[in-house]
Structure 1
Amino acid sequence: MEANEPGDHNGVFKVKERLQKRHQARIEDVERRKEEKDNHAVTKESVDNFLSTFYGERAAIEDLLCRCPGVDRKAAAEMLEEATNKTVQLQKFLNDSVVFLTTYDQRQAQAALQKLQTCLTETRERALPKKKFAFRARSKAADKAPESAMDPLNDGAAENRGSTQMDGDAGGVQCGFSHMSNAVLAKTAEEINKKDVLLSNLSNCKVCLYGTPSTLHLKHIDNCEILCGPISTSVFVDQCQHSTLALACQQLRTHNTSDTRVYLHVTSRAIIEDCHRVSFAPFSWSYPALEDDFRAAGLDPDRNNWDRVDDFNWLAAGTPSPNWGIIPKAERRSTWEA
């Protein structure tokens, strides 16, 4: 028996060692689960705080908009300005919160913001109606006039054959270009800053927008090149084809668009829906006041999610959407003619 004692001791030691390891593993497992539970609680608290704050602020903005039609023009303009600023801040709040929000919560909040932006635009149109909306057709005499004598509302368009110019009131309701083709068009910062800009029914046009519009809407764009300075909030694109866009914004939503290249700076995630053959590259258009305009628009020049695109028609997790892609570096534009 004595000869077996060392082996017995070794066996007992190994058993104790295994028991200690199991006990330690249990302790570590308990601590891990507790940490996960604590992290989950923190995340849940953050999400709950976000939802409460976000939808509470949205309700306050909606209340402002509901009161606009019942006040005089000056008061309505002030309330709309406040609602616009609050909407910009709400978008920034959402952008800063995406790290802990679920995809569902992000989409719901973004949809609520889009609806709010639409309501803001519609309320502005009712409370501050445009003073004039004119179709301006150049006469033969105007075609022969020197460039300095051209109507400034046409921005020196070289080949305008029938333009629609939307003129906002003193509060800056809306401006842009519509129903034009084969034209070179431009607007200055004084014309578009803090305004909603609409470009619609354009074909074979080049458009340069210098400054910081509040929002940019593109509708029915065909074979155009559109360059725009930093947009304070959102860009909405619908029915665009065979075009090149250079945009800097907080949010990009693109619908029913095909064969279009987008040079993008966006601080949230871009969204596409019902799109085909849309490709992206970093924003590369430049002009002398661009850096100042980034600051005026409240955009962070160092935060660009140009290649983070959500396709609402492609829900296959882990598989890239076939509806969009990246423009190869060798094919990207680095210089743009004015």
Structure 2
Amino acid sequence: MLTGRFPQLRLRRLRKNENVRRMVRETVLTPNDFIYPIFVVDGENKKEEIPSMPGQFRYSVDRLPEMVEEVEKAGIPAVILFGIPSHKDELGTDSYSEEGIIQRALRKIKGEGSKLYLITDVCFCEYTSHGHCGYLECHGEVCDVDNDRTLELLKKQVVSHAQAGADMVAPSGMMDGMIAAIREALDAAGFTDIPIMSYAAKYASAYYGPFRDAAESTPAFGDRRSYQMDPANFNEALREVALDIQEGADIVMVKPALAYLDVIRAVKETFKYPTAAYNVSGEYSMVKAAALKGWIDEKRVVLETLTSMKRAGADLILTYHALEAARWLNE
């Protein structure tokens, strides 16, 4: 509480110049806060620009070392890998194949001697022919993801990722019981030290459009509202996070970030648990589009936006801005 009043109390005294502002700054953003998403595709010598995400690319496995080196030089400690296989089927078998796109990517990066921390997205939408996040059960014309059968597929996927060299797995499908199932599978396979970063509160958001373009994961029909959360719900997010923590999650995530800062704050204050925020593709692309038009100062807007996420309570921020933001911060 304030103990004085104007004119004795003048809050502008501590805003006089950059030095004093730095000294009293409450929230400090650094490259250590970032996780950089990377899209991996089949083929050779590929670096494909993603039209809806200016400055972002899909890389073939053989081109990953150059990307990894760039991330390491920027001082970013971790990446999260998203695989886009050339072959897709109803079960998304490439996601748990020994020769799957992510498994090859992990071996390539580790084989080059990189010390970067490698996180894998664990889901099925990029791997299935129907674009949904698991085993699809249909009754007539009505189809939905079968939760419990999908858990069995998730177990196979995380173990294959761990065997290929993943340092952490990040399940994103919003299946009930997925954290308990994944923890059980990892432990049974001897990977007790592999942590789980759960997409604990993942909303059925309109902000994912550019990602679905990048990952070629748009559902062939319907949508994902039967398993991702309703954007109007707040208390449900806390219940989801509580369940994932009980089941063994090591980090919990809120996705998207910018439109859900209230949820990030509540999760951090309620659980005092390592909390990640995903600054998603739509948030990224809106900033890029406005910057290309000259309507905003991109550097200031990006750093202000990322700082807001950390100020809200995020310990980690998954963001496509990571490379640029790290360079700006390192200046």
Q: Which has the larger radius of gyration?
A: 1
Tell me whether the two structures share a fold, i.e. TM-score over 0.5.
no
Compute the TM-score of the two structures, normalised by the length of structure 2.
Answer: 0.29
Write 1 or 2 for the structure with the bigger share of strand. Answer: 1
Higher relative contact order (CA 8 A, sep 6+): 2
Compute the TM-score of the two structures, normalised by the length of structure 1.
Answer: 0.29
